[in-house]
Structures are given as structure tokens and as C-alpha cells.
Amino acid sequence: MQRRQFLFLSASSLGGVLLAQCGMNQGSNSSSSSNAAPVLKSENRLLEADLNIGSGTFSFNGHSGNLLSYNQQIPGPRLEASPGDTVRIRATNRLSQPTNIHYHGLHISPQEPADHIFLQLSPGETYTYEFTIPENHHSTTAFYHPHLHGYVADQCFGGLGGTFAVRGKLDEIPEIKQAQEEFVFLKDFDLNWQKTKKGMMLGREGSLATVNGQMDPSFSISKGGLLRLRMVNASISRFYRLQLENHPFYLIATDGGATSVPIEQSELLLSPGERAEVLIQGNQSSGSYRLLNLPYERVGMGMMGNGMMGERKNQGNETETLATLTYSGEEIEPLSLPKQLIPLEELPEPKTVRQFKLNHGMVPGQGMTFLINGQAYDSQRTDTRVFLDTVEDWEIINTGMMDHPFHLHTNRFQVVSRNGQAVENRTWKDTVLVPRGESVRIRIPFRDFVGKTVYHCHILDHEELGMMGIIAMQS
């Protein structure tokens, strides 16, 4: 079978390919070939990793292009740690422009040497990130990617990104332990990304929609078995409206950790920055089933055919096949779904309620800009000040014509209502989709970690065009 995945090519390509090959056997309880990324795990409570951020020629299915990568791997290595572990990451910037690393979804300090997204890692520089995952950290499928304003969207579109899994209580639930685990790192690519500047207003999408750096990889399930898919939308703009033929999803975790019970869903929408974990029961007749990305309109019709939007291609109007699930192996005694997961903590009523209005507009001297409460991002301005030991409700109101996934760093939140209607199954999130014309109310506990960080639209082109604000957390 011809494998369609990114292969690093260059004078030193041998090293890169070898790395890729050893990596494939390292997946802990994964026997299929779909997890192309090598895994770096903590040992004796320490996760030590070197991440070399570089560019190089990658070939994909006979086409090649210059892409950006961590350790010459696309996606970057999967990092894994547990609550209480220390993480030490030596990041070396071998790009010709500055960068840094953000740990999206980890509840850690936003200050140096942890998740400091204002840090500039200059070309040639090495910086050591070091932090401890709090003892009470939730189990989660998080990810890492560059976060230096002005470079974020391009560097992510160019290929940078990797999974960061925190293994904890959710992973200890017996039914979940028995499930076969697979990571699904969703990222689209454009081999000519450096020339693709058009379409930033809409949010750029590449024509190669990959899962773990591969086109249409296969996952296996045994009849009677359970499959746990841990999905990350690491695309800068592409939405995934996922459906697996003949198989419902049982949602067990959203961005901020486990749900309280598995929630049956026939499809699942993941906007950029969102993650989800689902269980799938191998209870259909043997055969192959496609994991589909169904059409989804993320922009109002009024915006279409508008010259300013650039070319509209591949933007959510066709069904794509992302991966294939195949029954294989012996039939086993059917595994059951867990009944209980992690009880959801009830948050107190908020002390403060704030509003954040999302829209875009012409700003004199700046052109078309994406705005929060009428203002574009300004690195010198603190937009929101909060105090520790408080709970706040934020009402995010999208008054524009495009959907915006709203993301907050450092702290997770619960979505309490949408358009004034209480949400039934509350879960922990750090990124929430606010469709055009709608509003979403989130409840955020601020308990630990002081310092400055950001909230923004996770369509990273919109973040670059101004849709970001600074939050200062103080005691």
C-alpha cells in the first residue's frame, strides 16, 4: 500500500526518515499505523524533550514543498505527561524568523519559563521551557503550536503543531483503559503556503486535509471492541463536521477534559483549536467505514462572492473522507461503554459579568480589521483585568457574518448558555464556537496563576488581523 504522508527530504533526510520510522513503533497501546508521530513520554516524573523548530523540503504523494516542522516530523512529536510531572522542553529556533511555543489547553503559568506567549525566540536561539503539571490537572488532549503575534497563522499554516496529552483519572477508568487508543490530529496543508496570502479574511484553508500527517489513513477496530479517538483540530481555519459511517460517537471529553457521562452524538463539529475524545463501539458488520468531514458553512452568504474575501476554495462545501475505520482481527467479547466518567464540578454564580463583541470592520489606516469590543489587538493595552479566587461569566456576542471560535488561555471554562438558553450537558472547554449572529455565555474560575495572557479567535488569520485581547490575572 502506498502511504501518503509527509516525508522529510534534504541532504540530511536519512535522519528524518529514520526518526519517523522508529516513532511509529512507539505508540503505547496502538497497533495500527495511523499514529505517525513519535511519542515523548515522561519518565520518573520528568518529561524532557528537545524540539528543533525548522523548515525543510517535505514530499507528499509525489509533490514537494517547503514546510515547517518540529524535529523534522509532521505532525510534531506527541508529548505525554501526567499530573505532578515536570516538563522541560528545550526549543531551538532554526527558522529565519522569531517564534515561540504555546501549550494550548494546559492549566499552567502564563509566565516565564512556562506558557509565556509574549516570549520571542530569535533565530538560532535555544530556550528551555519548564513547568510542573499541577497535581490536580485534568486528563486532556491538548496541543502545542507557535504563538508569536504576527507569525502565528503563517507558522501554523506552514506545518507547526503537535499533540500534548495529559494522562490522569480519565485514563484509569477500566472501560477506557480497555479501549484501543488513537490520536486524530486534524490539519490541512497547502504545499505552496508561503504564496497563499489571499483569503486571510475568510481564514485560509489548504487543499490537503490530513489526519496525523496522512491522507485517509486507516484505523482498525475489532468486532466487539472499543476505539477511543482523541481528536485535535490543529488547522488554522478549517472546520470539521465529523461523522463516522454507521457508528455514533460517544463523547467522553471536550477541550477541557472529561464529560460526566458518555454523550451519544451522530456527528461532531470541531472548529479550530477545539478537541474532543469519543468512544466508538465495534458493533457493526465487518467492513470499512469512512470518517467524513461533512459540509459546513462558516461564513454568511452575504460575505460570499465578495472580492475582498479572496478565492473561496475547499471551504466546507464538499464532503471529504478523512480516514477509514476497518474491522480486523478476532471477534472479542463485547466491551461495554463506561457509565460514569468524571463528575462535573458545579461552579458558583459569577461575581462579574463581561461582554465581548466580535466583529470585523474597516479601521482608518489599518484596513479591514477583526475586532473585540470595537478594538483590534494592541500589545501595549491590557483589555481585561481579573482577580484570583473569583468566578466570572463572559458573554461572547458575535455580531458579524462569520463564525468565530473563541479561545481563552490558561483557564478552562464551562459553557452555561447559548442565545440565552441554558446548556444541558455542561462540559469543560477552552475554545468555544460562537456562530455568526449568536451569543454564548461561559463561566470561568480564576484560581491560580497570575500574569498576562490572551484570548482570541482561533481562526488564526483572524487573530493576526486583530481579534485578540490581553487579560491580566492578579491576586
Binding region for ligand C2O (CB under 6 A): 102, 104, 145, 147, 273, 407, 409, 454, 456, 458
Nearer to ligand C2O, 175 or 464 (CB): 464
Residue number of the CB closest to ligand C2O reads: 104
Nearer to ligand C2O, 104 or 462 (CB): 104
- The contacts of residue 367 (CB under 8 Å, 6+ apart) are none
Q: How far is the CB of 143 from ligand C2O (least distance, A)?
A: 7
What does 147 bind: Cu ion, ligand C2O, none (CB cut-off 5 to 8 Å by kind)?
ligand C2O
* DSSP label at residue 351: S
Q: How far is the CB of 413 from ligand C2O (least distance, A)?
A: 14
What does 404 bind: ligand C2O, Cu ion, none (CB cut-off 5 to 8 Å by kind)?
Cu ion
Nearer to Cu ion, 7 or 299 (CB): 299
Q: How far is the CB of 233 from ligand C2O (least distance, A)?
A: 10
What does 443 bind: Cu ion, ligand C2O, none (CB cut-off 5 to 8 Å by kind)?
none
What does 456 bind: Cu ion, ligand C2O, none (CB cut-off 5 to 8 Å by kind)?
ligand C2O
Q: How far apart are alpha carbons 251 and 187 in whole angstroms?
A: 21
Report which of 202, 203, 296 is spatially closest to residue 243, judged by C-alpha positions.
296
8 Å CB contact between 252 and 276:
no
First-to-final CA distance of the chain: 58
What does 228 bind: Cu ion, ligand C2O, none (CB cut-off 5 to 8 Å by kind)?
none
Q: How far apart are alpha carbons 38 and 399 in whole angstroms?
A: 43
Nearer to Cu ion, 49 or 460 (CB): 460
Q: Which three cell numbers stand for residue 4?
A: 501518503
Q: How far apart are alpha carbons 432 and 435 in whole angstroms?
A: 10
For 203-264, the DSSP string reads ----SEEEETTBSS-EEEE-TT-EEEEEEEE--SS--EEEEETTB-EEEEEETTEEEEEEEE
Q: Where does this chain bind Cu ion (CB under 5 A)?
A: 104, 404, 409, 457, 459, 462
Q: How far is the CB of 249 from Cu ion (least distance, A)?
A: 24
Nearer to ligand C2O, 247 or 298 (CB): 298
Nearer to ligand C2O, 291 or 467 (CB): 467
What does 462 bind: Cu ion, ligand C2O, none (CB cut-off 5 to 8 Å by kind)?
Cu ion
Q: How far is the CB of 449 from ligand C2O (least distance, A)?
A: 15
- Assign 3-state DSSP to the chain and report helix, strand, coil percentages, each to 5: 10, 45, 45
Q: How far is the CB of 52 from ligand C2O (least distance, A)?
A: 21
Nearer to ligand C2O, 104 or 116 (CB): 104
What does 457 bind: ligand C2O, Cu ion, none (CB cut-off 5 to 8 Å by kind)?
Cu ion
Nearer to ligand C2O, 145 or 462 (CB): 145
What does 238 bind: ligand C2O, Cu ion, none (CB cut-off 5 to 8 Å by kind)?
none
Q: How far is the CB of 125 from ligand C2O (least distance, A)?
A: 21
- The pair phi, psi for residue 19, each rounded to 5°, is -55, -45
What does 412 bind: Cu ion, ligand C2O, none (CB cut-off 5 to 8 Å by kind)?
none
Q: How far apart are alpha carbons 452 and 205 in whole angstroms?
A: 31
Nearer to ligand C2O, 147 or 452 (CB): 147
- The pair phi, psi for residue 24, each rounded to 5°, is -65, -20
Q: How far is the CB of 13 from Cu ion (least distance, A)?
A: 32
Q: How far is the CB of 464 from ligand C2O (least distance, A)?
A: 11
What does 187 bind: ligand C2O, Cu ion, none (CB cut-off 5 to 8 Å by kind)?
none
- The contacts of residue 244 (CB under 8 Å, 6+ apart) are 280, 289, 290, 291, 292, 325
Q: How far apart are alpha carbons 109 and 116 in whole angstroms?
A: 8
| CA-CA-CA-CA torsion sign (243, 171, 422, 418) | negative
Q: How far apart are alpha carbons 411 and 138 in whole angstroms?
A: 12
Report which of 473, 379, 346 is spatially closest to residue 147, judged by C-alpha positions.
379
Nearer to Cu ion, 4 or 312 (CB): 312
* Coil, strand or helix at 428: strand
